[in-house]
Structure 1
Amino acid sequence: MSDKADPAPVPPEPPYEGECCEGGCGEACVWEKYYLARAEHEQAMAEWLTRHPAG
């Protein structure tokens, strides 16, 4: 499988400065969503690296 047909996962962008309201939103917090997206990206990247071993 070529890298063009199966590109590496793109990491999530962290929240912008001031995007967090500091209100203790729990699961709705932009930081909680970011950390979840980051964990999902790490899993997707591990799976991608299995499909595309280095050199």
Structure 2
Amino acid sequence: MTPDDDPRPVEPEPPLPSDCCNSGCPICVHDLYAEQLQHYREQLAAWKQRHPEEPL
């Protein structure tokens, strides 16, 4: 498998300060970002296992 067939995961963009309304939403943009970041880290760890020769 080549990196072209299995591209490295892309880190999610953090929310901008203006993206949060600071009104205590049940699901805040910061919560969503934290979930996306965790998923990215898991996907990246699995990708690194499949591509140990690729630079970090």
- Answer whether TM exceeds 0.5 for this pair: yes
**Count of aligned pairs:** 54
Flag structure 1 segments of 5+ consecutive residues without an equivalent.
none
In structure 1, the residue matched to 2:52 is 53
Deviation at 1:50, TM superposition (A): 0.5
In structure 2, the residue matched to 1:31 is 30
2:21 corresponds to which letter in structure 1?
C
Aligned-residue Cα RMSD (Å) equals 1.2
Q: How far, CA to CA, are the matches of 1:25 and 1:4 in structure 2?
A: 40
Q: How far, CA to CA, are the matches of 1:17 and 1:25 in structure 2?
A: 15
Flag structure 2 segments of 5+ consecutive residues without an equivalent.
none
1:1-55 Cα offsets, whole Å, 9 max, x none, are 00001000000001123110011113x1000000000000000000000100026
- Moved beyond 4 Å, runs of 4+: none
Q: Percent same amino acid at aligned positions?
A: 39
Q: How far, CA to CA, are the matches of 2:38 and 2:7 in structure 1?
A: 18
1:13 matched to 2:13? The reply is yes
